[in-house]
Amino acid sequence: MGKKGYIIKHIEDAVTVPCPCGESTRIIQYTDTPVANLHVTHIQDSTKHYHKECTEYYHILEGKGFMELGDDVVELRPGTTIVIEPGTPHRGYGDFKAIIVGIPAWKHTDEFFCE
């Protein structure tokens, strides 16, 4: 956390990177605080994966798609929120943008691919 007890970030200053889910703008990252991350990710297709430590909260901002959660498939539309607990294989596809919050903050070492 910042020396003053808070962090301020502007999306235009954040790093946008390719990721297994699509393209992710990483506004708050593990390097900012290990408590939680906040990413805005554009997903068209992704590889099924899971996390051993991180619980992920997806909130769909725009677009439509689907999320595979284990053996289930759920429809996504703006306003949908999903909580994905550690160990749950998941994969998003379609064409949508989501805010993704990870608690504790997502690290690349906590991403395990199913395929």
Cα separation, 95 vs 61, in Å, equals: 11
According to the model, what pLDDT value does residue 3 have? Answer: 74
Task: Name the residue ranges covered by the structural domains of the chain.
Answer: 23-113
| Positions in the chain short of pLDDT 70 | 1-2
Q: CATH fold of 23-113, please?
A: Jelly Rolls (2.60.120)
Question: Is pTM beyond 0.85 here?
Answer: yes
pLDDT digits (tens, 9 = 90+) for 14-39: 999 998 888 999 999 999 999 999 99
pLDDT at 4: 85
CB 9 within 8 A of CB 28: yes
